[in-house]
Amino acid sequence: MPIKMILDCDTGVDDTMAILYATLHPEIDLLAVGSVWGNVDAPLATRNSIHAVEMCGRGDIPVATGAAGPVNQRAQDIAYHVHGRDGQGNRGTGRPVGPAAPGTAAEQIVRLCREHPGEVEVVAVGPLTNLAIALGLDAELPTLVRGVTIMGGAALAPGNVSEVAEANIWHDAEAAAAVFNAPWPLTMVGLDVTMRTLMGPEHVARLEAGGTIAQYQARIMGFYMDFFARESFGRPLSCMHDVVAVAIAAGTLVPTLAPVVNARVDSTDGPGRGQTLCDLRGMYMGYPAQEGAHCRVVLESPADFGDDFVDLLVNAGDAAIDVSEPA
């Protein structure tokens, strides 16, 4: 039985990978997508999410628009410098897409979890605003989900916004604190693994030799890889961030080290704001059990996942819509 999944994302380049993977993979039943501000603004995230499911001939998957900013209502920057002004590396199609689903992304989460109690894995790969709002809408949500998996945080690895804070957590630390405190099974897929799970020029070349879905993915990755070349790696490599979280949530990528520990978020205005404090003090003893712990922190996973992702996209053939660049 494929895993029922709701994907919550701020659809930039790697979110697009995540949607394509979740839509195409036979072991995932993607019930719905919610959009959120972050890499791009929420309406653009909605548009890009609909575009991605339509590419796969799955325009029937509902995409609901979510929060436009963090729960504390502070102004926030949008990461256009990473994902391009269109969130597709400035090489999207720009074409109109079908309509968004009615209601908000948070309401959609609550409704679908109520319809399928205990069955839905909620995977959030942007700021956690929608999940925090959903917790506010329905206090029983933690008992209704199968689990929650996030792309976000950094346990032992450095942060990417500050020395210790990862962007998705930092952008809405108050929402993230709520998500870490809620008593649901939480899987944190953070920079510890996502900065080590990479695609490079050889993956891009394989995508370019595939059908139009794979070719589209290859095309939008250039801008994103340039960012990582400049900021992180000194050469063109692409972090697979969001799609790693989707695959771990689905069990199609199996972590090799992922202790269940107590974890909390620094939501002060101190230098540690946005840090995920994971209690890994047991590392020298093989991580003995911790009372009340419900956060599985992924510390190691197979680094060659890029090959699986490319296989899936190449085998998917051509897109159901025209994905050529505008003239």
Point out which span in 30-38, 45-53, 78-86, 229-237 binds a copy of itself (CB under 8 A).
229-237
Q: Which of residues 54-113 bind a copy of itself (CB under 8 A)?
A: none
Pairwise CA distance, residues 6 & 85, whole Å: 26
Interacting residue with a copy of itself among 59, 76, 226, 233 (CB under 8 A): 233
Residue 94 burial by CB count (10 A; 0-12/13-18/19+): exposed, middle or buried?
Answer: exposed
Answer yes or no whether residue 281 interacts with a copy of itself by CB under 8 A. Answer: yes
Answer yes or no whether residue 277 interacts with a copy of itself by CB under 8 A. Answer: yes
Pairwise CA distance, residues 7 & 223, whole Å: 24
Nearer to a copy of itself, 86 or 166 (CB): 166
Decide: helix, strand or coil at residue 186: strand
Q: How far is the CB of 171 from a copy of itself (least distance, A)?
A: 17
Nearer to a copy of itself, 3 or 173 (CB): 173
Answer yes or no whether residue 278 interacts with a copy of itself by CB under 8 A. Answer: yes
Interacting residue with a copy of itself among 138, 226, 279, 308 (CB under 8 A): 279
The sheet with strand 120-124 has its strands ordered as 63-65, 28-35, 3-9, 120-124, 147-151, 186-189, 295-298, 260-261
Pairwise CA distance, residues 304 & 290, whole Å: 31
Pairwise CA distance, residues 88 & 227, whole Å: 13
Answer yes or no whether residue 232 interacts with a copy of itself by CB under 8 A. Answer: yes
Query: Is 8 marked active-site?
Result: no
Point out which span in 29-37, 58-66, 120-128, 275-283 binds a copy of itself (CB under 8 A).
275-283
Q: Which of residues 139-168 bind a copy of itself (CB under 8 A)?
A: 156-160, 162-164
Nearer to a copy of itself, 20 or 265 (CB): 265
DSSP state of 245: H
Query: Is 241 marked active-site?
Result: yes
Interacting residue with a copy of itself among 151, 195, 245, 313 (CB under 8 A): 195
Pairwise CA distance, residues 258 & 20, whole Å: 25
Query: Number of residues in contact with a copy of itself, rule: CB under 8 A?
Result: 29
Pairwise CA distance, residues 172 & 94, whole Å: 29
User: Of 25, 83, 171, 241, which is the active-site residue?
Assistant: 241
Answer yes or no whether residue 186 interacts with a copy of itself by CB under 8 A. Answer: no
Answer yes or no whether residue 260 interacts with a copy of itself by CB under 8 A. Answer: no
User: Of 8, 10, 29, 41, which is the active-site residue?
Assistant: 10
122 to each of 142, 144, 166, 230, 297, how far by Cα in Å?
A: 11, 11, 20, 33, 16
User: Do 264 and 179 contact (CB within 8 A), yes or no?
Assistant: no
Pairwise CA distance, residues 327 & 325, whole Å: 6
Answer yes or no whether residue 234 interacts with a copy of itself by CB under 8 A. Answer: yes
Which residues are part of the catalytic machinery? 10, 241
Give residues in contact with a copy of itself (CB under 8 A): 156-160, 162-164, 195, 232-234, 262, 264, 266, 268, 270-272, 275, 277-281, 283-286
